[in-house]
Amino acid sequence: MATAESTITTPRRSIWQSSAAQKLLAFAALIVIFLVFTFLSPYFATPENIVGILLATAVNGVLALGVTFIIITAGIDLSVGTVMTLSAVMTGLVITIFGMPIPVGIVVGILTGTTAGLINGLVISRMRIPPFIATLGMMMIARGLALVLSTIETGTVKPIYFNNTPEFRQLTMLSFLDPIIKPIAANFSVPNAVFIMFGAALVAAFILGKTVLGRYTVAIGSNEEATRLSGVNVANWKTAVYALGGVFSGLAGVMIASRLNSAQPALGVGYELDAIAAVVIGGTSLSGGEGTILGTIIGAFIISTLTNGLRIMNVPQEWQFVVTGVIVILAVYLDILRRRRN
């Protein structure tokens, strides 16, 4: 005789509701966008423009990696853009103004981002200030500090250039694959910045999928109270997540300083929106508890490809913002619909 327990069946998730399907749909959208712009403009699919898309994706992709961890915990970080700028300025100060070796400047830049992320985490987890407010405050603090620090040499706000250290620019703009690619495609070169992004993505994927920090990141986002009741020190792990986000912001700061061959103290505002958009489009849920690194990288490529294509089509910048905003809203709405059906 069948018991009541044996007749209860666990609802099966549709294949379209799975994480793999979300990444597949995002990748399909990327391909469609690429093909549409290739058809509309003969200048889109050129080697030079593809390299431009890759470069634009590199910095935003690294920023978005850190944001992925934070959003999976059901948090948010509005400071990643200006923290990136502050890290770039600190790198410039150490290398150009203080004359320290390039590796020291890189370490200082990454540590600057890590420190800002750590402070965010402590304010959120210990002082119980909502992530939106805490990171909004850090966004303004980092922006102000970047402007103040850029005045050390001349007394006025101005970029810090790396003209005396050309090796610093080569870190991201040269390609270690040139000896292999150049004989085949003379006009095509994949800059090191792209490989740095993919390397950072592999590290992030390992942390999220194979470490205790990754497991607790998902657990906190899925049910913070249950995680706390199970004996996990949620405050410490949440602080660690924000500090990790700061590491990626610091790395992005070093990368953009190297790419531009300068630390631009007024840069950074708006980068946090592109990073968050990439994470959301890639399938990470704003409700927390779900997200992947692969999805985030695909989302970053969608943002860069869309922006580049619209620019080539001479679409005004204000309309580019409109299109990106509509896509983000649709991505969030699809996530809401998917969760309702679970």
pLDDT digits (tens, 9 = 90+) for 222-256: 999 999 999 999 999 999 999 999 999 999 999 99
Say which residues have a Cβ less than 8 Å from residue 140's Cβ, sequence separation at least 6: 82
Which residue type, as a one-letter code, is found at position 200?
Answer: A
Buried b (16+ CB within 10 A) or exposed e, 222-256: bebeebeeeebebeebbbbbbbbbbbbbbbbbbbb
3-state helix, strand and coil shares in percent for the chain, rounded to the nearest 5:
75, 0, 25
pTM assigned to the model: 0.90
Q: What is the CATH number of domain 18-335?
A: 1.10.3470
pLDDT given at position 268: 82
Q: Which sequence spans correspond to the domains of the chain?
A: 18-335
Task: Return the closest-CA partner of residue 300 out of 317, 276, 316, 284.
Answer: 276
pLDDT digits (tens, 9 = 90+) for 265-276: 988 888 998 999
